[in-house]
Amino acid sequence: MGTQDLEKQELFDAFREGAEAAGKDPETMPKIVETFVVVGGQEEAEYAANLWRFTVDPWSDELLYESDPREIQRKAEEMFSLEEVYQNWPMGEDAETHVEALQGFLDSGATRLFVHSGQ
């Protein structure tokens, strides 16, 4: 789940419904957020975004069923601009920027965070 996903009530509803259908309490289940961060500015963000373009929509049929990683990269370059890749990544050189962004995930209900620095 990325920052843009935290705004999609349908994801939270589907999570709750799925948990309840499985006989589980959604309030006690882990809620995992995975995000990238950029330590630096736009130059560092563009460098990292170029490497991780496919992460915008890795489940798309165009990428998911492609077995050649070079072809995945080529297709992702056609599908997604660099800005689309890093637009929701916390970016900055100061720790406070990143602490604030990660706290936002926790405040939204995340119980576990997986943080990647793309560069």
Q: What angle do CA 44, 46, 35 make, to 5 degrees?
A: 80
57 belongs to a structural domain:
no
Q: Give residue 106's domain range.
A: 3-48+83-117
Q: DSSP 3-state assignment of 38? A: strand
43 belongs to a structural domain:
yes
Q: The pTM is what?
A: 0.77
54 belongs to a structural domain:
no
77 belongs to a structural domain:
no
Q: What is the pLDDT of residues 95-105, one digit of tens each?
A: 999 999 999 99
CA distance 78 to 33: 27
90 belongs to a structural domain:
yes
Q: What is the pLDDT of residues 9-34, one digit of tens each?
A: 898 899 999 999 999 999 999 999 99
The total number of residues written for the chain in this structure: 119
- Count: domains in the chain: 1
